[in-house]
Amino acid sequence: MADIVSQAWFWPAVFVSVGLPLLLIGLTEMYNALVRGGSRAAPIVLMVRNYLVPVAAIMVLISQPGAWDEEQSWFKVFATIFGLLVILVVINAVDHLVFHRAEKGSWRDRFPTIFSDLIRFVFIIVGIALLFWWVWGADVAGVFAALGVTSIIVGLALQNAVGSIISGLLLIFESPFEMGDWIETNEDTGYAYGQIVEVNWRAVHLDTGNGILVIPTALLADGSFTNLSRSPEPYLAKREVEFGTDDPPGRVRELLVRVARDIPVSSPDREPTAATLEGSKYSVGIPLQNPGDRSVALNAFSTRLWYAARRAGLHLDGDDTDEWRTADRLQKALHQIAPILGLRGGEADALASSARLERYCQGEVILRPGTVPDATRFILDGRVVLGIPTEDQGFAQVTTLGRDDAIGITALTRTTTISRAVALSEVDVVSLPVAMLDEIVRGHPLLAREIVRESENRVRLARAALAAVGEVLPYGRSMLG
């Protein structure tokens, strides 16, 4: 027994016969655990278990003195196979650790697959050359020389293309944008505006709202652009407008800010701005919650500004004509609401000196909560929703107003309204100031009773609307316009 133990091959044989099964069992359990977890490292462990470990065991056995011929040709064959397996396992392991486990959005995650495959190919060629030099004593200088010459030739032939690709890759590694960001390029790269929907090593894809614009990353790297989504302040949608030369600049700026503030997609974190430019031009900045709302916001602003300028008596684009607000139309409007006010024809005509015709576009706010109306407006045409702002639901609809209904009935009592009135369509109204309402009520006391009755009816509807959303009308704040 002592003679067997003293043999050189004994302990390597024991190691292979005992250690190999245990190692294979351990690798099998590791492989199954990785498969259950969906890990991409499972194929690497499988390669180690099925190929690398058995070949290593064979090498241990045949490496013993006198096991093979003196030249050890078979040992070199197995050493070559073992070396190839080691190269594949190491390269795949490094690829898994560096790229497959990269954090989303990091430079490793954005690294193009084609370049990682190219790097792996180069390392495999170099590893094989070194392996043959070490095991077989082969002269691999020619391989490295050929590889160097080939690299120089390919580099010279593709220097422009490769340079563009490298520029694009550097831009991606810098990470000045990510998926979902809105960017705006400058004139030096060709103007473009859109949301990033895809980024790869060759190009950036922008959704412009009118198709997908593909911009090479090299073009962005060589030019300049603005990432609208990474500003610490809300994005400002800017628009230049022009008014009449006789319009007071202070009133114009006040009108611009007021209209911009009511745009639904505007940001509540920053106030709109307005500035006077040269001549009779003005600029307005509308803060937005999302840069993608720019076209929607500017379209709504331009539409509402036209109506607001007409109501304010200002001259947008220098236009001083208004073919809608005429004396004949005002007379017809007053005769339309005369029965509601209890007036006769002659009494209605007398209101023409102070009454005004106004027009609102869809979505405009006609009455705001927390204000005392300076006039009562009677609807001539169109529909208006009357509601109460709430903390949870945002807006509780009380009722819908139509032809001959009144907006701002709390003007007569000089009380603050808690309701908001928003135009559901284009709305034409005739506006009667408070002083005129006082004169009408003095001559027709029944009108005050009708206004109180309508106010109580709206309070009843408001209680029901708030109860439907789980809220209660606060005591002492029961005045609805």
C-beta separation of 107 from 173 below 8 A: yes
Residue 127, judged by CB atoms within 10 A of its CB (0-12, 13-18, 19+), counts as middle
Looking at 244-292, which runs of residues are DSSP E strands? 273-276, 281-288
Number of other residues whose CB lies within 10 A of the CB of residue 208: 11
Dist. CA 48–CA 388, nearest whole Å: 71
Q: Over the stretch 364-408, which tens digit does the pLDDT of each residue have?
A: 999 988 888 989 999 999 999 998 888 766 788 889 999 999 999
Question: Does the pLDDT at position 7 exceed 60?
Answer: no
C-beta separation of 135 from 87 below 8 A: no
Dist. CA 130–CA 139, nearest whole Å: 10
Question: Does the pLDDT at position 162 exceed 70?
Answer: no
**DSSP label at 243?**
B
Average confidence score pLDDT of the chain? 81
Q: What is the pTM of this model?
A: 0.66
pLDDT of residue 325: 87
Question: Does the pLDDT at position 2 exceed 70?
Answer: no
Dist. CA 206–CA 193, nearest whole Å: 8
pLDDT of residue 163: 56
Q: Over the stretch 14-73, which tens digit does the pLDDT of each residue have?
A: 777 777 788 888 888 888 888 888 777 788 888 888 877 887 777 776 766 655 554 567
